[in-house]
Structure formats: structure tokens, C-alpha cells
Amino acid sequence: MGAMKKIGEILIERGKVSERDIERALLAQAEMGDLLGRVLVKLGLVSELDCAQALAEQLDVPLLAAGDYPEEPLRLDALSSDFLANNGVVPVARDGDRVHFAAAVPQDPFIARALTMALDGPVQLALGLESDVSRALKRYLRGDGPDEAEAEGVDSFAGQSDDEFIEHLRDLASEAPVIRLVDQLMHRALDLGASDIHVEPFEDGLHLRYRVDGVLQDQADPPPGSLAPAIASRIKLMAHMNIAERRLPQDGRIMKRVKGHELDLRVSTIPTVHGESIVMRVLDRESIRLSLPDMGFSADTLERYQTLLTRPHGVLLVTGPTGSGKTTTLYASLASLDAEQLKIITVEDPVEYQLDSVNQIQVQAQIELTFARALRSILRQDPDIIMIGEMRDTETAQIGVQSALTGHLVLSTLHTNTAAGALTRLEDMGVERYLITSAVNGVLAQRLVRTLCSSCRVPLELGDAAIERYGLRRFLPEGQRKVFQARGCEHCRDTGYIGRTAIHELFLLDEQLHEVIMGGADATTLHAAARRRGMITLYEDGLRKVVAGQTSLEEVMRVTQDQSSDSMAEPGPAALQQSATA
């Protein structure tokens, strides 16, 4: 079966638009963030009917005419008016157990699943013109009574034109109390040093949470849930999103100066059953540290890592979960190089920070500017060093390895738990083992741990049992038994921690490890072989920071549970106290 035709191709074949029209629409789509068909209609390049007919052909679903809608609405008690209006769907007929619906966006898999679950029976979706679906919804909602429809906040969708609806949303977002609330969100995020702001509507109201030092904290006094649509509209307006689109995920960006800080907020919205859930990633350009010595490296790890950066070619990978500081480490690595003497090109999604004398490319999937496509082009730009934001697919990984083999230093990230796991992940992505041994110089695994508050940390004397159990013996100086743990005070908002530092695990490939890799070893065997060669694991590097008083044993165990042995259950303060000397 052939691949599904794109709607632009169908319209070109039908003679409704030209290739130039599609190019214009794609550029507009990048700004508007809407479906391509809707963009074509809004630009006046095709009629709504022409676009709907092409979409019906693409999806292989029937297109309903205006006369196919029932005069008397088909009532379904299992479905709320709010759900129907928010998702642009209306029931039109019943055929035995099967219920037929008209939908403005029938390709949304969420709608079919939700309807099937709500009705506990089969459903059939057909495509309807947005204007026809809106009129049918207006008839359906009128039967609920104006008070109920207005209370649920759906009458504005059903009874207004698109322009009126957008203006209504803009009015909501422009009210002074809403503007103040959104500004307060950003001010509080800066005060807390938060990395993310979560705005989440639930049945019991609006929840506001901030991720501080990797841990979510609730705001004690969130605004009323009735303001959720207005707050969402305000944020989307600031992020240059389509404020009328509430049924599809969107991404945007806000540049704002707060208390003298230039904040760069990456905004993501997703539709949920109670409204739009919004997460804003906070990037404070003035607080970023782009210096390798400030990244939390232990002295021996930093020396070996900097040696890898001086190599003329090869692949250097940084691994870890989302939010472990991988990209910041890569930025600091690039900042440590002489960009005036070297040609450095990056391919990122997104470009988080702009570096002097570094050519940075923003991936744009909507115009098919992918990692792989950008990489193929930049190899003709005569680069010395290439930074790939993430090796997400087989093609990107293979091009990255080939670039290293042809004389380039390639820096990139992978989502793996251990440094050794990155090598098996490359193999899973289609890179042959002999290419891995030829191209990869090293892998740096990284995690972020919270650092103890110096104002309230408390010492703890450990007994021999605890020292042996947690593997501290080799890192404690002779005669030392003291480590520190968190307590909490006003300076750290009773958390016991202020800020974060990194712990690392550096896997260096040498001839002996090349032999192990070529022997078909899995990640566990590779990890064990690297440890025999002297590799310090994430957990062990964390222990070094525990001994230095930078963090607590509880924090290291929380972050590196997959690194510690099975016999090391996660210790809480009570468990440590029981192991402490009297």
C-alpha cells in the first residue's frame, strides 16, 4: 500500500493551487501554527469546500453536505456539550449500535477513542465543513439552554464566527487581572529559580506548579479555575500561537525581560479533558554558566573530557534523561573551544542559547528541515566541529558517524541511562560495531543532583555498616566518618537544598574496549569492562560529592538508583540515623 498523499499534492493534482501557493502556505503555517488546509483557506488560496474534498480523499472518509445534518439534534447523554464544542464534533445519525459523527478534524485519533470510550460502542467519523459543524453545534447547544451553554464556556465557539471568536479570546487575554497573573507566574519562576512552569487545568480547578532544582513544587494559592481559558489565551498570544486552536498541541516562544533578566520561555500546550495544559521551559540567559570548570566536573573527569575535546575527529556523546543538563554541557564544551580559529556548526531543536562565532541551525520539521537533512548540507560548509542537538533516528546517527570518519569532531546527545548504553543504542539505530569502534572517542553520562544548603546542612557520623553498605570506604579520607544531610531553613524554603551540580561517568574507548565491543558485548558487559579499566560511575562520582559535603547521600541515591547495586536500598534520614554511630 502506498504512502498517504499530502493534501497539497491532491490540491495541485486537481488544479486548485500551484506549487508556489503551497510554498507560500507552508511559510505562513510556520508562523500561524495551524493545519495546512486551514492556512490555505485563510489565505484565500482555496475554498473551504475544495479543501474539505481534498481532505476527504486523503483520509478516505465521507464528506457530509449541509443537508446531511439532522434538523432535530441527536441527543447523547453520555457526551457533554463542552466535549463536543471543544473538539468540533457533533452526532448526526444512529445506525443500530453505531453512532455517526461529523467532525471538523476527523484525523485526530483522540476524538474517535474518546467517543468510543464514552459511548461504550462503535462510532463512525465523517468530515464536515467547519461552518456546517459550527451551525449544527449551535442547534445542539441551543437545546441545552443558554445558561448552561454559557456556563460551560462553549457558546462563544458555536455562536460566533471565527473572527468574532478570536476577538473574544483576545479580549479575555487582554484584561488587566489576567495580564498581572501571567506576569506573576514569570516573576515567581525567576524568584524560585524554576526551570519549568506548569499550568494545569483539572476538575477541581487550576493547578500551578514550578520545577525547582528538578523537583515540582505546588503554588499554594492558584487562581480560580474559571480564569484558565483566559490565562491560556494570554500565554498563547504572547507565544505567537494560534489562540483559536484548542484541540491540537502547539509550541511557541516568549522573549520577556523580567526584573532585569532576559527570559526565554519555550511554551508547549496540549489539549486535555479539562482544557489546555501548558508548560513553559524557563531559560534565563543571564544565569547560564558556559564554563566547563563550573559544570561540576571532578578534576580527573574534567581533564580526560577536555582531552577528548582536543581530538581532531571522532564522536563525543553526552547521555542522560531529559533535564539532566546535556545541552548545557555541550554549550560549555563549544564555548571552551576557539571558535575564531575553528568552523563550528550546530543543528538544534530548539536553539536554546546563541553562541558567539558559532553557526547555529534551528530544526524546522514543518518545512522538512530535519537533523539529517541539515547535516547533509552542512558537510558542504567545511566545518571542523559539528554539534548535533540529539541523535534521534537512524539516518542522523549514521550521518554523524560518517562525518566523524571523514575528519570532523562530532558532539551530540543520546537518551540512555549509562555511558556504555549509548554504544548499544547506536547499534540499535543501525550503526555497525566496527564503525562505532572507529568513530566514537568517548561517552559522558550525566545527572544533576541538588546541592546542600550551606546555612542549614547538618553533619552525620556514619557507622562502619553504613560506610560499607553504600560504598563510601574508598572515598572517605582516613579517619573521616562525617557526611552532611539536608534539614531545611528559610534560605532554602525548607527544602534543605539550593541549586544543583552535575555528576558524571566518562566512558573512554581504548583498544581493549574495542575488542570487547567487537566481541558482541551488551551494555552490562561493556559497563563492567569499563569499570575494570578505571571508570568512575555516576553513583561513585556522586559519593565523591557526598564526601566533599556538596550533596547528600539521599539525593545521590534518588538520582542514581539504577546505578547503585540491588543491595543498596534507597536510604532515608531515618535509615541513615540508624546506621550512624552513637
What is the arithmetic mean of pLDDT over 399-412?
94
pLDDT for res 301 = 94
The chain-wide mean pLDDT, for the chain, equals 84
Q: How far is CA 543 from the centre of its chain?
A: 30
* Lowest mean pLDDT segment, chosen from 164-178, 188-202, 335-349, 367-381: 164-178
The amino acid that residue 441 corresponds to is N
What is the arithmetic mean of pLDDT over 505-516?
93
Q: Note the pLDDT tens digit of each residue in 62-115.
A: 998 888 888 888 888 888 877 888 788 999 998 888 899 999 888 888 888 888
pLDDT for res 449 = 95
pLDDT for res 306 = 94
Tell me the C-alpha distance between 447 and 463, whole Å: 28
pLDDT for res 287 = 62
Tell me the C-alpha distance between 225 and 230, whole Å: 10
Burial of 556 (0-12, 13-18, 19+ CB in 10 A): buried
Other C-beta atoms closer than 10 Å to the C-beta of 32 total 17
Q: Note the pLDDT tens digit of each residue in 123-169.
A: 999 998 887 888 888 778 765 443 333 333 334 444 455 566 667 66
Q: Note the pLDDT tens digit of each residue in 218-251.
A: 887 788 777 888 899 899 988 988 888 888 999 8
181 vs 31, residue with greater confidence: 181
The amino acid that residue 410 corresponds to is V
pLDDT for res 567 = 35
Residues 6+ apart with CB under 8 A from 563: 418, 505, 537, 538, 539
482 vs 570, residue with greater confidence: 482
* Lowest mean pLDDT segment, chosen from 30-44, 211-225, 327-341: 30-44
Q: How far is CA 265 from CA 46, 279, 280, 282, 335, in A?
A: 35, 9, 6, 5, 22
pLDDT for res 285 = 67
pLDDT for res 268 = 94
Q: What domains lie within the chain, and their CATH numbers?
A: 7-138 (3.30.300.160), 170-284 (3.30.450.90), 292-564 (3.40.50.300)
pLDDT for res 478 = 85
What is the arithmetic mean of pLDDT over 185-213?
90
Q: Where are the alpha helices (DSSP H) in 268-393?
A: 299-309, 326-335, 371-378
Residue 582 has pLDDT above 80, yes or no: no
Q: Is the model's pTM score more than 0.75?
A: no
Max CA separation in the chain (angstroms):
88
Residue 349 has pLDDT above 70, yes or no: yes
pLDDT for res 562 = 60
Q: Kind of pairing, strands 215-218 and 440-452?
A: unpaired
Tell me the C-alpha distance between 447 and 505, whole Å: 9
Residue 581 has pLDDT above 70, yes or no: no
Question: Per DSSP, which regions of 188-228 are E strands?
Answer: 194-202, 205-212, 215-218
pLDDT for res 485 = 92
How much of the chain, in percent, has pLDDT values that exceed 90? 36
Residue 325 has pLDDT above 90, yes or no: no
In this structure, are residues 489 and 453 in contact, taking their beta carbons and an 8 Å threshold? yes
Q: Note the pLDDT tens digit of each residue in 416-429.
A: 888 999 999 999 99
170 vs 537, residue with greater confidence: 537
pLDDT for res 574 = 47
pLDDT for res 143 = 56
Tell me the C-alpha distance between 231 and 292, whole Å: 39
